[in-house]
Amino acid sequence: MGLKNLAQANVTVRGQSPASGLSSKACREKMRRDRLNDKFVELGSILDPGKPPKMDKAAILSDAVHMVTQLRTDVQKLKDSNEKLHEKIKELKTEKNELRDEKQRLKAEKESLEQQVKLLNATPSFVPHPPVIPTPYVAQGQASGQKLMMPVIGYPGFPMWQFMPPADVDTSQDVESCPPVA
């Protein structure tokens, strides 16, 4: 209701005597109707912004009912979507924790394997790399002071003496421990 209508209503009410309750009641009813009309105009302008407000109260109420119904449907859809997103977040958190645990396990396994590799590299190996083509016999042009070593044949073409510890392969003490017989 505009200020002009309110001022006119106040002037009318002041000008009447308290004994004339009938006209003040009519004035109060007119003010109530004016307020309702103002609210209907405001509601119409909110429902269709940019368009001139509707004057038909039934159309305004019908549009308002339609809008409220649509908003309730949208709210329910958003609640359902929100619930699904919360469930997905829980699943992703669970998966994240599982991946974190697996990462820690793999990290520990990697460190363990690295330690094993370090130990293997630190320990001297008794096994030299096998030759590409094993040579079971010494060439004929061999010097006379060199000892002829014949590999122990366990697997065809692969000398097995390479797998014995160096103390067993060392033949420098053979003369003292086993003197020649003849």
25 is a domain residue: yes
CATH code for position 72: 4.10.280.10
11 is a domain residue: yes
For residue range 63-74, what is the model confidence (pLDDT) as tens digits? Answer: 999 999 999 999
120 is a domain residue: no
Is it the case that residue 5 has pLDDT exceeding 60?
A: no
Whole-angstrom distance, CA of residue 132 vs CA of residue 109 = 34
103 is a domain residue: no
129 is a domain residue: no
78 is a domain residue: yes
User: What is the tally of structural domains in the chain?
Assistant: 1
For residue range 26-84, what is the model confidence (pLDDT) as tens digits? Answer: 999 999 999 999 999 889 888 888 777 777 889 889 999 999 999 999 999 999 999 99
Residues spanned by the domain of 61? 3-87
The pLDDT of residue 182 is: 61
The residue among 33, 35, 55 whose CA lies nearest residue 44 is: 55
Which tokens go with 138?
Answer: 């010494």
Is it the case that residue 177 has pLDDT exceeding 70?
A: yes
The pLDDT of residue 75 is: 97
Across 69-97, b (16+ Cβ under 10 Å) vs e yields: eeeeeeeeeeeeeeeeeeeeeeeeeeeee
176 is a domain residue: no
The residue among 41, 40, 29, 36 whose CA lies nearest residue 9 is: 29
155 is a domain residue: no
pLDDT band of 122, cuts 50, 70, 90:
confident
